[in-house]
Chain A
Amino acid sequence: MQRQLELELIRKCKAGQSRFYEPLVRAYEPAGIRLAIAMMGNAEDAKDALQLAFIKTYDTLPRFDLRRPFGPWFFQILRNQCRDMLRSRKAKFTTEALDEHLENRPEDAERGPERIQQRNEARKLLWRGLEKIGTEHREILVLKELEGFRYVEIAQILEIPEGTVASRLYHARSALKKALVDMNAEYP
């Protein structure tokens, strides 16, 4: 979404015109659901977290500084919502429903069923690894690798100094590597 259009929509929402919130919800929903599924591990909880995050975002819009980008601010609220839900229900990240979310890439299909099976096995292994490493490590990997945020944006979302993002990523990647090695998966 164009920055100027986004700003205009936010201004109208701040003025209490909630119908202008719809384009913002629809624009940030796809990335939001991906992040929420990756953090919560299942679609049901992810959708609940996303819904609550959008409501909280709207409720706090009057305090939103228009000079800041909206995306990282929204993802910060969503991330906190996921963490709150995981904490309050004492629920664990669960990969029960992940199979249905793992999509085959078109290039895999071209290489035949054996290739698809291999890739699926590798993906499931990775998910199990992500399940093992804990929320702190998982969220930063998801923000970087699945959502493609820059370090400055990750720092904003996670509310940490930009200088510590690289170190947090190193620890997360090392933890994932260890989890995969523990599951007998090897990396070069």
Chain B
Amino acid sequence: MDTQRPERPKPVTTEDLMRYLDGEVTPEERTQVEAGLTGSTELQRELAMYQSMKSDIQDLHFGPGSAQGSVWDQVNARLNRPIGWVLVITGLVIWMTYGTYVFATSSVSPWEKLGTGAIAIGVLMLLASVIWERLRELETDPYRNVQR
């Protein structure tokens, strides 16, 4: 006596349904899901609902609106900024070293050298404190790289 029964289709899982909906199934899996769909109106209804949702989302078709215009200029400026800074700082260091040497070896009276030196050092200290403060703020600034 033949005891073999017709093989029941493997139940279709929600993941199978998603892969089927998104066209990510192999031909075998497709056949299996379609067999499951044939036997279940509930599954058919669920698939129809997700298909409708999928097409509605795809239909959103939105454009850039006020975001139009490339960000390339801002990105490019940010990428090239470090080179500019290196050049400016190198130039400044050279000029300041040379200026200090010329001033220190000049025939100006020691009192004049002392007064001018104090002003120069004071200005540099103030500048350094402002830069230091700004650098500390930058650590927590989420928009530090954003240019408008």
Contact = CB atoms under 8 A, between A and B. Distances in A.
Given A58-B75, A169-B18, A173-B50, A37 B56 contact: no
B24 A52 contact: no
The A interface, classified by DSSP as helix, strand, loop or mixed, is helix
Interface string B5-25: 000000000111111001010
Nearest to B16: A166
A112 interface: no
A22 B67 CA distance: 18
Interface residues of A, number: 52
A151 interface: yes
| Among B17, B53, B60: residue with most chain A CB under 10 A | B60
Contact of B71 (A51, A119, A176): A51
A115 B60 CA distance: 15
Interface stretch (B105-113, B116-124, B139-147): B139-147
Contact of A51 (B59, B80, B147): B147
A96 B64 CA distance: 14
B144 to A, nearest CB: 9
B146 A51 contact: yes
Q: State which size class the interface on B falls in.
A: 35 or more
A75 to B, nearest CB: 15
A159 interface: no
B14 A167 contact: yes
A167 B17 CA distance: 10
Nearest to A176: B53
Given A25-B71, A101-B65, A89 B17 contact: no
20 contacts: A18-B76, A18-B80, A21-B76, A26-B70, A33-B64, A33-B67, A34-B64, A43-B67, A46-B67, A51-B146, A55-B78, A55-B145, A89-B142, A103-B63, A126-B56, A145-B54, A145-B57, A145-B58, A170-B17, A188-B52
What are the nearest 4 A-B pairs in CB distance? A43-B67, A100-B65, A166-B15, A101-B62
